[in-house]
Amino acid sequence: MIVRIAQYSLRKRLVFGVGSTIAILLAQQSLTMFAHGRLTFLLISASLPFITVLFGASSGALLLLTGILFGALWMDPIGQLVVPGHADQIVMLAYTVVGTFLVVAGQQLAKMAQRAGRAEAATRDAAARVLQVERDSRHRFDVALNTAGVPFFIVTPVLRDGHIAELRWDYLNEAAARLFNPAAGVIVGSSTLYVSPAGWDADLLLSRLAPLAERDGRDAFDVRVDKAEGDQWFHVVAASLSGSVVAWFGDVTARVRAEWALEEADRRKDEFLATLAHELRNPLAPIRQVAEILAQPRLTDEGRKWCVTVLRRQSAAMALLLDDLLDVSRITRGALTLRKEVVSLREVVDEAVEIARPILGAKAHELVVKPPPRPLHVEADRLRLAQVLGNLLTNAAKYTPPGGHIELATTAEDAEIVLSVADNGIGIEPDKLSAIFRMFSQVNRDHHREGGLGIGLALSKSLVELHGGRLTASSAGKDRGSCFSIHLPAEIRVVASPAPARDAPAVVSALVRRRILVVDDNVDAADALTALLELERHEVRTVYSGEEAIDILRHYDPEVVLLDLGLPGMSGLDVARRIRTMPATREVTMIAITGWGQPDDRARTAEAGFDFHFTKPVDVAQLNEAIDSAGTAA
C-alpha cells in the first residue's frame, strides 16, 4: 500500500496527505477532550512514517515538532510549554526518541518505496514493450504471409483416446483462405474433416499431416484437385512445429501440364523418328532393288523403262518428303514467305491431282473433280496452294481402302472460297479430330504402313493460315470417311488479266553439245551426273575437289560448270569466286548443285557468281534448260 501511494503524483499525494492530517488532527482533538494529553502522542507517532513517506523527512520532522509542542501544551500545567512532571518528561522524551526513529524509518521506507515503484514501473514498461513487440511481430508475420501470395496454413491435432482423430485449422493466410468455398463460413477452429479447400481430399490431408504432428519431420507431396475446368495440381511442403503442422502449398498445374506436354512431345518425337526411318526406307528399298536389276545383263528395254519410271517416282517421293521437312522448319522460324500471283484455281487443282496421281492410280481409287460453275482466279502462292491440296488428296488416298471414292470439290460463296476433299476411307474418331493438325501427330497409328510423318496436315494448316484462311476436318466416325476443307477468304478472289501472247518455244536440238565440268566430292553422285550428261551427248570432264577444278581449268575451257558447294578444303563458293576472276572462265555458266536450298544459301551462291542454284536431287528437265541457256556451242 505504501509503495503504491508513493507512486502517486504530487497533487494526488498532497490531497491524500492533507486529508490524512486533518483526520489525524480531528482524531487527536477528540482524544484530548476525553483523555489525558499524552495519549495523543500514540496517534501522532503512528502517522509519522506515513507522513514521512508521503512528503519526505522534513514533513515528518515538522509533524514530530508539532507533536512535541502539542503534548507540552496539553500536559500539566495545561496551556504552557513547561513540562515539570517527571513522568510527563519521560513520556515526552520517549515520544521524541521514538518519533525521531519513526521519521528516519519513514525516510528509508520512502526510499525503498521509490525503488520498488521504479522497479514495478520498469516491469510494466518491459511487459508493455514485450507485448508490443509480439503484436508487431504478429503483424509483420501476417503482412509477410499475406503479401507473399503463396497459400500457408497451420493445423493442430485433436486427440481422442490418445490418437489423432482430426486436425484443426489454427491459421490461414489470405491466399489459403481464398481456396475455400465461401459457404464454408468460419474456417479457423474448424476440423479439416469438415472444412477443407474446395475439391481437396480431407482424408489425404489427415493421413499426410497427422504423422508430422506426432513427431518432428518434413514432407512434400502433390495434391490433385478435380474441377469443372479441369484437373488442378498443388505441391504441398509441410513440417512439424511444436506439436502442430505448418505447410506451404503452391499451384503447380502449369508445371505438371508442361511435364505432360514434354512427355507427349518426347513420345511423338520417338514416333516421328521411327516413322521417318520407315518413310526413308520405303523409297530406298525399290531404288536399291532397281539398281540391282539394272545391273542384270539380260535386262530388256521394257524392263529398263520400268526401272527408270520407278527411280523417278521414288526419288520424287523422297524429294517431297524433304521439302515438307524444310517447309516445316521455315514456318516455325518464320522464314517462309509466299510468292503470290494471280492464279486459276483450276490450275491449282490440276497440279494437286498430278501430285497425288501415282498413289491414286496405285490403289485404283475413283477420283471425282467438281469444278466451280465459273472460272475462279485468286491471288495466292500457286505452288504452296497446290502443295496443300496435293497433301489432302494424298492423305485421302493413303487412308482409303483400294478402289475407294474420293471427291474434290470447289465452291465459291460470298464470305469464302472452299476447296474440299472427301473420301469414304477409314474416317477419324470424334475425340481425335482436334489432334490431327498437331506436328508429328498420327491419330491412326495402326496405319503407319500407309506412310506419313505426321507433318503434312500441320504444314498444310500453316500454309493455309499464311493465306489468311483456315483448314478444317470433319468425319462421321471410324470407317465412315472424312472430309478436309480449305477455307480461303473471299477477298483474295480477283479478276484475271488477259494472258499476254507468247512466242512458240524454241526447239533445242538434241544434238547441241556443251563442254561441261562436273565438280563433286561424292564420287557416285559426280559419276552418275556425268553418265547422264554424256547420254545427252555433252562433252564432260569430272573432278572431285575444288583444287582439282581450278587446276583443270588451266587447260580445259568449259561452257558450263556444275559445282557442288560442300567440297572439302576449298568450298564450292570459293571455287566459284576464283572462276569469276580468271579471264578465260569469267563468262562461263555456273550451276550450283547442292543439298542446301534455304534463301540465305541462294543469296550466297548469287553473290559468289553462280547463274543457277539447284538442290539435290536435281530435276533433269530444269537442269537441261539451264545448260541449254549457256553460250554458243563449239
pLDDT band, very low/low/confident/very high, at 498 (cuts 50, 70, 90): very low
C-alpha cell at 324: 515438307
Q: How far is CA 470 from the centre of its chain?
A: 27
Q: Quick one: average pLDDT of 240-253?
A: 82
Q: Which of 208-212, 260-264, 351-355, 446-450 has the lowest mean pLDDT?
A: 446-450
CA 323 → CA 274, 344, 595, 621, distances in Å? Answer: 19, 24, 11, 19
Q: Give the C-alpha separation, 16 to 20, whole Å.
A: 6
427: left (phi over 0), alpha (psi -120 to 50) or beta: left
Q: Give the C-alpha separation, 3 to 114, whole Å.
A: 7
Q: Quick one: average pLDDT of 124-131?
A: 83
Q: Quick one: average pLDDT of 467-491?
A: 89
pLDDT band, very low/low/confident/very high, at 5 (cuts 50, 70, 90): low
pLDDT of residue 421: 94
Most confident of the ranges 142-146, 514-518, 609-613: 514-518
Q: Give the C-alpha separation, 241 to 445, whole Å.
A: 54
Domains of the chain, each with CATH number or no CATH: 2-122 (no CATH), 149-251 (3.30.450.20), 258-330 (1.10.287.130), 338-494 (3.30.565.10), 515-628 (3.40.50.2300)
Q: Are 457 and 514 in contact (CB under 8 A)?
A: no
CA 370 → CA 320, 350, 471, 484, 516, distances in Å? Answer: 26, 12, 19, 15, 48
pLDDT of residue 75: 72
Q: Quick one: average pLDDT of 330-340?
A: 65
pLDDT of residue 285: 65
pLDDT of residue 279: 59
> What is the 8-class DSSP label of residue 505?
P
Whether pLDDT at 441 is above 60: no
pLDDT of residue 132: 80
Percent of the chain at pLDDT exceeding 70: 79
pLDDT of residue 577: 93
478-487, pLDDT tens digit by residue? Answer: 888 899 999 9
Long-range contacts: 263-270, Cβ < 8 Å, 24+? 268/438, 268/439, 268/440, 268/441, 268/454, 269/440
Higher pLDDT, 612 or 446: 612
Q: Are 519 and 487 in contact (CB under 8 A)?
A: no
73-117, pLDDT tens digit by residue? Answer: 767 777 777 877 777 777 777 778 877 887 887 777 777 777 777
pLDDT band, very low/low/confident/very high, at 560 (cuts 50, 70, 90): very high
With a threshold of 0.85, does the pTM exceed it? no
pLDDT band, very low/low/confident/very high, at 546 (cuts 50, 70, 90): very high
Q: Give the C-alpha separation, 287 to 285, whole Å.
A: 5
C-alpha cell at 109: 521506507
CA atoms 553, 556, 561, 567: torsion sign: negative
C-alpha cell at 308: 527408270
pLDDT of residue 509: 44
Listing from the earlier edge strand, what are the strands of the sheet with 589-594?
539-543, 515-519, 560-564, 589-594, 612-615
Higher pLDDT, 143 or 188: 188
pLDDT of residue 109: 75
Q: Are 191 and 167 in contact (CB under 8 A)?
A: yes
Whether pLDDT at 337 is above 80: no
CB atoms within 10 A of CB 197: 24
pLDDT of residue 25: 65
If you average pLDDT over every residue of the chain, what do you get? 78
Q: Which of 40-49, 371-380, 415-424 has the lowest mean pLDDT?
A: 40-49
Q: Are 490 and 414 in contact (CB under 8 A)?
A: yes
Nearest Cα neighbor of 254 from 230, 237, 270 is: 230
Q: Give the C-alpha separation, 60 to 50, whole Å.
A: 8
Q: Are 349 and 390 in contact (CB under 8 A)?
A: no
